[in-house]
């Protein structure tokens, strides 16, 4: 069984409910789940590196990543760029893509979901994502604790390389 040394997540539709909320003045809001946030804290305390890779480029995500103290944040990454971003992180960490767990929900996540050691998607992911061979389909929807569900599953199945040096 592969041991996971890096946990990566998409943002919109995974850490959020995929909604884009705007005020009349144009301010944007995103709903994040605190249970997911605690999942990132648990990973950090276990010594697992974390990151977010998203196609959006917003200050909201930058602030959320800072609050969660993720090790890596890549914004503005589309389609194959998400896999390239993950490979860049792997090179920096001197690990293989097979030692990565990733959760994504939409077509711009496909190549990365197919490449990682353990892949998962929220319950409300697109059918094309749910049909990826070997993907773990979670019970919770994006923004409703799907990331935490995945993290707890990884801990329960002892997929993390917690005793790594």
Tokens at residue 31, please? 């709903």
pLDDT digits (tens, 9 = 90+) for 129-143: 999 999 999 999 999
65: CATH: 3.40.50.1000
- Percent of the residues in the chain that have a pLDDT greater than 90, as a whole number: 89
- The answer to whether residue 139 is domain-embedded is yes
- The answer to whether residue 165 is domain-embedded is no
Q: Detail the residues annotated as belonging to a binding site for Mg(2+).
A: 10, 105
8 A C-beta contact, residue 102 and residue 9: yes
Residue 164: is its pLDDT beyond 50? no
pLDDT at 163: 55
pLDDT at 80: 75
- The answer to whether residue 16 is domain-embedded is yes
- The answer to whether residue 1 is domain-embedded is no
Residue 42: is its pLDDT beyond 60? yes
pLDDT digits (tens, 9 = 90+) for 59-95: 999 999 999 999 999 999 987 799 999 999 999 999 9
Average pLDDT score over the chain: 94
User: Based on the structure, what is the number of domains in the chain?
Assistant: 1
Q: Which of 1-5, 83-87, 90-94, 161-165 has the lowest mean pLDDT?
A: 161-165
- The answer to whether residue 162 is domain-embedded is no
Rounded to 5 degrees, φ, ψ at 55 are -80, -20
Q: For residue 46, which of 155, 156, 157 has the smallest C-alpha distance?
A: 155
- The answer to whether residue 164 is domain-embedded is no
Q: For residue 130, which of 115, 151, 149, 109 has the smallest C-alpha distance?
A: 109
State whether the Cα torsion 20-100-162-138 is positive or negative: positive
Length of the chain equals 165
Q: Which of 52-61, 77-86, 112-121 has the lowest mean pLDDT?
A: 77-86
- The answer to whether residue 161 is domain-embedded is no
pLDDT at 2: 74
Domain with 126 in it: 6-156
Mean pLDDT over residues 9-35, rounded? Answer: 94
Q: Detail the residues annotated as belonging to a binding site for substrate.
A: 12
Q: Detail the residues annotated as belonging to a binding site.
A: 10, 12, 105
């Amino acid at each position: 069984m592969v041991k996971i040394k890096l946990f990566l997540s998409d943002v919109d539709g995974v850490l959020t409910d995929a909604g884009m909320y705007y005020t009349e003045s144009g301010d944007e809001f995103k709903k994040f789940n605190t249970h997911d946030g605690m999942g990132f804290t648990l990973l950090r305390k276990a010594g697992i590196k974390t990151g977010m890779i998203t196609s959006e480029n917003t200050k909201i995500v930058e602030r959320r990543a800072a609050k969660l103290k993720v090790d890596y944040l890549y914004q503005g990454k589309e389609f194959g760029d998400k896999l390239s971003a993950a490979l860049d992180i792997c090179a920096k960490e001197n690990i293989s893509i097979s030692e990565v767990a990733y959760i994504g929900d939409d077509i711009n996540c496909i190549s990365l979901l197919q490449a990682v050691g353990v892949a998962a998607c929220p319950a409300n992911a697109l059918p094309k994502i749910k049909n990826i061979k070997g993907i773990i389909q979670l019970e919770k929807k994006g923004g409703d604790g799907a990331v935490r569900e995945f993290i707890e599953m990884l801990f329960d199945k002892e997929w993390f390389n917690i005793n790594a040096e």
